[in-house]
Structure 1
């Protein structure tokens, strides 16, 4: 299978890193001289050994941390020095699946997935059917009224993925999104990410699962020792 598209001359990259370095406190650099672009409508994997800096790279794209040096641009905006309101506006154009799920325990599965649409102040009548359909697709149709503490790890993972997808973000960041599901469901979720990509969303999936990556002919961004190399189309 092939996915992704070429960046046309008329479109800004969704993400651009220029000679980015990142360290925490006085420690050594976690990332060193990282430069790359993510094209609109593209699909790529982010991989590398544990501790290579994948989560830090995702946090930089998500604008939850700032680089120690270099330039990070998201949706055509260079992010150093911009206001918190502007950062919030950029983040709302992204969907993210965290390794620790970050579901709200006092909300049902349905309410967690619908939350990004509620934040947009949409009326429930305008999105209820869409939320229910997505929950059924990821196998949570019978669990939509259950609170997260009563869900299994795999069910929490699927709920987190559904929440990230529901608003059809321009950029989806997924940190080990298939780590708690069986291989069959992992392939099904991958097809969901690919369908979202075909609808126009740029997708970045951080994963150690080479079997999953081998199912798709897509670019791989490989981190090792804080440095990045790009493989594939």
Structure 2
């Protein structure tokens, strides 16, 4: 699904923030992305979401060399990827329901075909009572849950989540993690960037560890993965 080969990234004339990244993400896989603050986790997520191009190296997504794609072609590929941003990126003029349903509307679906699914998902993430509320009056945790619901409603082929449980209490964090696990079981590859060590203990999953711009990989058995 994704292949990085000797990828490096720098901003402007500064030093490389990511260097010599070589790894792959398989279809239907589940992994955590961890590492200290400033190590490059968010930059890696942006490369995976195709909102950044690498400074050097090869990034292949869904069998496409991203360096050869136009902006329009990259945009089409991004529709196959769901992402949960740390800053939520909800639209203030839309209700919670409308924000979550927006990807389906963009795809041209009729509301009658998806309304019950959106409502059910909002109930599941604890936002059933906020369905008609606008983002400015939502708490940080409520915005986080709405952003997650919006990302998973289209059942993307790959889901990227940047600290998706950072604004919720532990019981709800566990429930949201279960949502990601269930989505993975239906076929979506999931990558969760997190500082929350308790999440890592709840799911046996591959760990991608970023340190000082480089990556190491630990398989679910706690051994270093040499495949890449």
The corresponding residue for 2:189 is 202
Using the TM superposition, give the Cα deviation of residue 197 of structure 1 relative to its aligned residue in structure 2, in angstroms: 0.1
The corresponding residue for 2:34 is 47
Scaled by the length of structure 2, what TM-score is found?
A: 0.96
Scaled by the length of structure 1, what TM-score is found?
A: 0.94
Q: Structure 2 matches for 1:55-70, cutoff 5 A?
A: 55-70=42-57
Using the TM superposition, give the Cα deviation of residue 117 of structure 1 relative to its aligned residue in structure 2, in angstroms: 0.1
CA distance in 2, matches of 1:48, 1:109: 32
Q: Structure 2 matches for 1:69-88, cutoff 5 A?
A: 69-88=56-75
SS of 1:80's equivalent in the other structure is: helix
Indicate yes or no: 2:127 matched with 1:129.
Answer: no
The corresponding residue for 1:161 is 148
Indicate yes or no: 2:85 matched with 1:98.
Answer: yes
Using the TM superposition, give the Cα deviation of residue 81 of structure 1 relative to its aligned residue in structure 2, in angstroms: 2.5
More helix by share: 2
CA distance in 2, matches of 1:216, 1:158: 20
Q: CA RMSD in A?
A: 0.5
Q: Structure 2 matches for 1:138-217, cutoff 5 A?
A: 138-217=125-204
CA distance in 2, matches of 1:98, 1:83: 24
The corresponding residue for 2:76 is 89
Runs (4+) of structure 1 exceeding 3 A deviation are: none
| CA-to-aligned-CA distance 1:5-56 (integer Å, 9 cap, x gap) | xxxxxxxxx1110000000001110001001000000000000000000000
CA distance in 2, matches of 1:77, 1:21: 18
CA distance in 2, matches of 1:141, 1:149: 17
| CA-to-aligned-CA distance 1:114-157 (integer Å, 9 cap, x gap) | 00000001000000000000000000001010000000000000
Alignment size in residue pairs: 220
CA distance in 1, matches of 2:170, 2:219: 24
The answer for unaligned runs of 5 or more in structure 2 is: 221-228
The corresponding residue for 2:4 is 17
| CA-to-aligned-CA distance 1:138-190 (integer Å, 9 cap, x gap) | 00001010000000000000000000000000000000000000000000000
The answer for unaligned runs of 5 or more in structure 1 is: 1-13
